[in-house]
């Protein structure tokens, strides 16, 4: 039983550890995103089965679908009707044909002049034209060629030459000669000739005629492409209230496209497809996890992982439901992916934001089968959003809206560029093009507005401080800083001096200077509980030091309580955890040396231990808090110097840094020896600029004396309360 209890406790501790929580977040978001990204396909399963509609689908808006099959068929029909473009043949065909005509006329004349019998003449004429004895060729034409008078044959000769000249001038192609050769010859013969003369000339020219024009393939293709491009797409229109598809109907390609425009997913998915989406999401998440684990370890915390998960789920839900739920045409460009890129840049850094945004684009676009044009727009929009947000001025929140507008302009230009390219190769709807361009701009603007509105809520929900949150905390009108200014003015001014030192030194060693500055403003707010027990406020109000009337142990208890008192105030005023670290860690477990030495003088060395006079707080574990610890001690020490020599400040700085180093207060911080040298040089430079003298003027002496008397009374009451508290604590320890 005991073994089982220990095992269960160990198992629970492992699950509730940061690594365990991170693993649970990873597994949860893996299955949630897979379920959401594949849910779009479930609509298809409920609508169509084996290609047949299971229900009636009514159009809620006017849907126009291009019938690609009919459009392509019409294009090819018109293209086939285009006559081939001809060009003259390169060879001298005309001269060759004319020479053949002269030769055949010459041969006919010789046959006519010969003294042979008519049968032999007739046979030679047939042989001359390649006519067989059994041919159906008109005997009248053959007889006319060798029997006609010389005058009539002269007419045939002359008209043959003239007709050939006309045909050659106009040009004749091989296709034209093969299909319409006789008709072409007939059309160019003089009409006044007799029928037998027409037939004789046709017989002669048909024998010798050759094409003198060839098809220009390039010009013909251009002509046919021009005709095809001039064909307007055949559009099928579904008006609101009309059925896109009826139950039991086979769903055609056009109907599927109409269903897609109506918001339905027309792609089916099986177990293999579901595993494909699961694998894609898993690979993207593993890629992000690998990068964070090896290069950005600080963002592996549950708060950051939860934020990334929330943004992922939100944007996927937006992509699934918004376009499908609208009665208007809403392109995918409306999805505010740039908002995710901006938010991630603000809460993490530009490197993490860019990788996260691109992986999110891949998951959504591939799983939901977006066109490559949409992927290009999302990718460029994310890149521009990330780079712009990384250079933002965090003191002006409206700059986020400007970033959104700029991203929208870039997306709009990218969409225009894509459509300019597509219009040269395919038909593009001008209306759809304008809508896509407008929504590309709107997406960027909406992204800026989303970031502006959700940033404070995300900060409060996930307790992640951003530069915007730091800028707000740095406002000296904040309630705690106002209280510090009026109730503990010495501490307030001390904090201002420390903030200058911490900011400059943190920036010099590569830390977050804004965080260091804001942390310095709040690090001593615990002194608000007993402000008059701290020397900087005593000198401001001009009262006696109450510690002169207290036991060193009691004084130590009052002084070392201010980090924990500050932590209570921070929780009361809901300061972020990262600021709380400055409050509780800025003294570490350091020694209250003044009261320790005072106790030794009073009680003896053998009766006192250092542990009794140490702070009981954690040591600094970040660069910013470690620098603040050094800046706090250096500012207090150098302020106590009166008219310091030039090297005295530098010696004091080095001494304090060495003391903190030897005492082990910096063991948990990432500061190196090189960083400490840089910090010392920076402190020295800043403090030399701060050193100046002022003349004190005494006015209204009576009022000042009255104020001092009142404060002394308050101090006496506080001392009595502290002694009472200390007595209770001693009795409790006994």
Lowest mean pLDDT among 165-169, 325-329, 435-439, 673-677: 325-329
Determine the straight-line distance between the first and last CA of the chain, rounded to whole angstroms.
Answer: 38
Token match 């019409």: residue?
74
The alpha carbon of residue 479 and the mean position of all alpha carbons in its chain are separated, in whole angstroms, by: 39
Q: What is the pLDDT of residue 14?
A: 67
Q: What is the pLDDT of residue 702?
A: 42
Q: What is the pLDDT of residue 190?
A: 78
Q: What is the pLDDT of residue 438?
A: 93
Mean residue pLDDT across the chain: 83
Q: What is the pLDDT of residue 618?
A: 95
Lowest mean pLDDT among 109-118, 512-521, 687-696: 687-696
Nearest alpha-carbon partner for 716 in 599, 544, 552, 562: 544
Given a cut of 90, whether residue 355 has pLDDT beyond it is yes
CA distance 200 to 133: 18
Q: What is the pLDDT of residue 194?
A: 82
CA angle (633 as vertex; 572, 559 as ends), nearest 5: 50
Nearest alpha-carbon partner for 380 in 408, 402, 400: 408
Q: What is the pLDDT of residue 46?
A: 56
Q: Give me the torsion for CA of 319, 325, 327, 330, rounded to 10°.
A: 0
CA distance 450 to 444: 10
> Mean of the pLDDT values across residues 711-719?
57
Q: Which residues contact 414 (CB under 8 A, 6 or more apart)?
A: 376, 377, 380, 381, 440
The answer to whether 585 and 625 have CB atoms below 8 angstroms apart is yes
> Mean of the pLDDT values across residues 11-18?
69
Q: What is the pLDDT of residue 730?
A: 45
49 half-sphere exposure, CB direction, 13 A CA radius: 5
Burial of 398 (0-12, 13-18, 19+ CB in 10 A): exposed
Distances (CA, A) of 196 to 107, 155, 160, 192, 200: 20, 12, 13, 12, 6
- Give the helix ranges, DSSP H, for 249-298: 253-261, 271-295
Q: Which helix (H) or strand (E) holds 104?
A: helix 93-113
Q: What is the pLDDT of residue 265?
A: 61
Q: What is the pLDDT of residue 327?
A: 41
Q: List beta partners, residue 58.
A: 243
Give the best-scoring range by mean pLDDT among 57-66, 88-97, 600-609: 600-609
Give the best-scoring range by mean pLDDT among 2-6, 235-239, 320-324, 355-359: 355-359
Lowest mean pLDDT among 112-126, 173-187, 339-353, 473-487: 173-187
CA distance 218 to 392: 56
Beta strands per DSSP E along 373-456: none
258-273 pLDDT per residue, tens = 777 766 666 666 678 8
User: Can you give the three-state secondary structure of 571-582, one letter per residue?
Assistant: HHCCCCHHHHHH
528-580 pLDDT per residue, tens = 998 988 888 887 777 778 887 888 888 889 889 999 999 999 999 989 889 99
Residue 90: band (very low, low, confident or very high) from pLDDT cuts 50, 70, 90:
low
The answer to whether 347 and 304 have CB atoms below 8 angstroms apart is yes
Q: What is the pLDDT of residue 699?
A: 47
Domain ranges of the chain: 11-41+269-463, 86-215, 469-693
User: Quick one: what percent of the chain has pLDDT higher than 70?
Assistant: 85
> Among positive and negative, which fits the CA dihedral 710, 716, 719, 721?
negative
Token match 């300019």: residue?
420
The whole model's pTM is what? 0.64
Distances (CA, A) of 133 to 138, 143, 201, 205: 11, 14, 21, 21
Residue 11: band (very low, low, confident or very high) from pLDDT cuts 50, 70, 90:
low
Nearest alpha-carbon partner for 219 in 368, 375, 119, 88: 88
Given a cut of 70, whether residue 49 has pLDDT beyond it is no
User: Quick one: what percent of the chain has pLDDT higher than 90?
Assistant: 36
- Encoding tokens for residue 175? 């296709």
Given a cut of 60, whether residue 229 has pLDDT beyond it is yes
469-693, CATH topology level: Hypothetical protein af1432 (1.10.3210)
Residue 296: band (very low, low, confident or very high) from pLDDT cuts 50, 70, 90:
very high
The answer to whether 159 and 197 have CB atoms below 8 angstroms apart is yes
Between 183 and 695, the more confident residue is 183
99-114 pLDDT per residue, tens = 888 888 888 888 888 8
Q: What is the pLDDT of residue 27?
A: 93
The answer to whether 723 and 553 have CB atoms below 8 angstroms apart is no
Between 89 and 238, the more confident residue is 238
Given a cut of 50, whether residue 514 has pLDDT beyond it is yes
The answer to whether 509 and 666 have CB atoms below 8 angstroms apart is no
Residue 647: band (very low, low, confident or very high) from pLDDT cuts 50, 70, 90:
confident
Residue 3: band (very low, low, confident or very high) from pLDDT cuts 50, 70, 90:
low
CA distance 567 to 615: 14
Q: What is the pLDDT of residue 724?
A: 60
Q: What is the pLDDT of residue 340?
A: 96
Name the packing angle between helices 623-639 and 577-585 (round to 10°).
40
Q: What is the pLDDT of residue 696?
A: 46
Given a cut of 80, whether residue 174 has pLDDT beyond it is no
Q: What is the pLDDT of residue 21?
A: 87
The answer to whether 535 and 545 have CB atoms below 8 angstroms apart is yes
Length of the chain measured in residues = 734
Between 97 and 725, the more confident residue is 97
Q: Mind giving me the DSSP string for 462-499?
A: HT---HHHHHHHT-TTSHHHHHHHHH-HHHHHHHHHHH
Given a cut of 60, whether residue 692 has pLDDT beyond it is no
Between 313 and 210, the more confident residue is 313
Given a cut of 80, whether residue 394 has pLDDT beyond it is no
> Mean of the pLDDT values across residues 434-454?
92
603-621 pLDDT per residue, tens = 888 888 888 899 999 999 9
Name the packing angle between helices 337-347 and 430-462 (round to 10°).
30
Q: What is the pLDDT of residue 18?
A: 76
CA distance 368 to 39: 10
> Mean of the pLDDT values across residues 592-612?
86
Residue 222: band (very low, low, confident or very high) from pLDDT cuts 50, 70, 90:
confident
> Mean of the pLDDT values across residues 476-494?
92
CA distance 628 to 679: 11
Q: What is the pLDDT of residue 695?
A: 44
């Amino acid at each position: 039983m005991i073994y089982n209890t220990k095992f269960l406790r160990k198992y629970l501790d492992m699950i509730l550890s940061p690594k365990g929580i991170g693993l649970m977040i990873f597994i949860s978001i893996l299955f949630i995103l897979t379920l959401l990204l594949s849910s779009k396909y479930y609509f298809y399963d409920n609508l169509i089965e084996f290609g047949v509609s299971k229900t009636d689908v009514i159009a809620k808006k006017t849907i126009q679908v291009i019938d690609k099959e009919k459009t392509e068929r019409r294009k090819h029909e018109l293209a086939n009707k285009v006559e081939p473009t001809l060009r003259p043949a390169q060879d001298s065909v005309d001269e060759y044909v004319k020479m053949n005509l002269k030769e055949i006329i010459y041969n006919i004349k010789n046959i006519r002049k010969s003294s042979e019998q008519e049968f032999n003449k007739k046979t030679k004429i047939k042989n001359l034209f390649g006519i067989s004895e059994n041919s159906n060729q008109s005997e009248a034409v053959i007889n006319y060629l060798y029997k006609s008078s010389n005058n009539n044959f002269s007419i045939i000769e002359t008209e043959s030459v003239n007709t050939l000249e006309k045909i050659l001038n106009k040009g004749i192609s091989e296709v034209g000669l093969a299909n319409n050769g006789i008709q072409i010859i007939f059309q160019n013969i003089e009409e006044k000739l007799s029928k037998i003369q027409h037939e004789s000339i046709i017989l002669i020219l048909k024998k010798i005629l050759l094409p003198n024009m060839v098809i220009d393939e390039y010009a013909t293709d251009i002509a046919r492409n021009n005709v095809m491009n001039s064909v307007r797409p055949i559009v099928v229109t579904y008006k609101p209230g009309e059925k896109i598809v009826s139950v039991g109907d086979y769903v055609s390609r056009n109907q599927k496209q109409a269903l897609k425009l109506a918001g339905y997913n027309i792609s089916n998915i099986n177990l293999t497809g579901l595993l494909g989406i699961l694998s894609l999401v898993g690979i993207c998440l593993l890629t992000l996890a690998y990068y964070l684990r090896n290069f950005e370890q600080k963002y592996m915390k549950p708060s950051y992982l939860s934020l990334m998960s929330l943004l992922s789920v939100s944007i996927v839900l937006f992509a699934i439901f918004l376009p499908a739920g609208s009665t208007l045409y809403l392109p995918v460009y409306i999805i505010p992916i740039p908002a995710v890129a901006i938010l991630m840049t603000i809460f993490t850094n530009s490197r993490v934001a860019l990788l996260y945004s691109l992986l999110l684009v891949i998951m959504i676009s591939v799983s939901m089968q977006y066109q490559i044009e949409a992927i290009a727009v999302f990718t460029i929009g994310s890149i521009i959003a990330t780079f712009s947000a990384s250079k933002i001025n965090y003191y002006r929140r409206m700059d986020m809206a400007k970033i959104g507008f700029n991203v929208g302009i870039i997306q709009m230009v990218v969409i225009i560029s894509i459509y300019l390219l597509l219009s040269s190769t395919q038909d593009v709807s001008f209306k759809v093009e304008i809508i896509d361009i407008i929504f590309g701009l709107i997406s960027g603007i909406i992204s800026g507005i989303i970031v502006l509105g959700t940033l404070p809520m995300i900060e409060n929900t996930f307790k992640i401080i951003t530069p915007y949150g730091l800028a707000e905390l740095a406002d000296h009108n904040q309630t705690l800083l106002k209280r510090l200014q009026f109730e503990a003015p010495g501490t307030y001014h001390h904090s201002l001096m420390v903030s200058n030192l911490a900011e400059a030194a943190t920036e010099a060693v590569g830390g977050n200077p804004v965080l260091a500055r804001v942390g310095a403003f709040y690090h001593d707010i615990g002194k608000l509980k007993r402000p008059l027990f701290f020397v900087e406020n005593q000198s401001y109000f001009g009262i006696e030091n109450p510690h002169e009337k207290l036991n060193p142990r009691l004084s130590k208890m009052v002084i070392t309580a201010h980090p924990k008192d500050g932590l209570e105030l921070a929780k009361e005023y809901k300061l972020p955890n990262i600021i709380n670290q400055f409050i509780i860690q800025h003294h570490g477990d350091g020694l209250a040396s003044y009261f320790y030495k005072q106790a030794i003088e009073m009680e003896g060395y053998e009766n006192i231990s250092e542990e009794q006079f140490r702070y009981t707080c954690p040591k600094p574990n970040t660069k910013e808090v470690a620098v603040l610890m050094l800046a706090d001690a250096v500012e207090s020490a150098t302020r106590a110097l009166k008219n310091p020599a030039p090297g005295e400040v530098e010696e004091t700085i080095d001494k304090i840094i060495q003391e903190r180093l030897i005492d082990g207060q910096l063991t948990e911080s990432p500061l190196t020896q090189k960083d400490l040298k840089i910090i010392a040089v920076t402190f020295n430079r800043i403090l030399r600029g701060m050193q100046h003298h002022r003349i004190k003027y005494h006015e209204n002496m009576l009022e000042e004396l009255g104020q001092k008397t009142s404060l002394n009374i308050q101090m006496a009451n506080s001392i009595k309360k502290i002694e009472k508290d200390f007595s209770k604590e001693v009795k409790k320890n006994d």
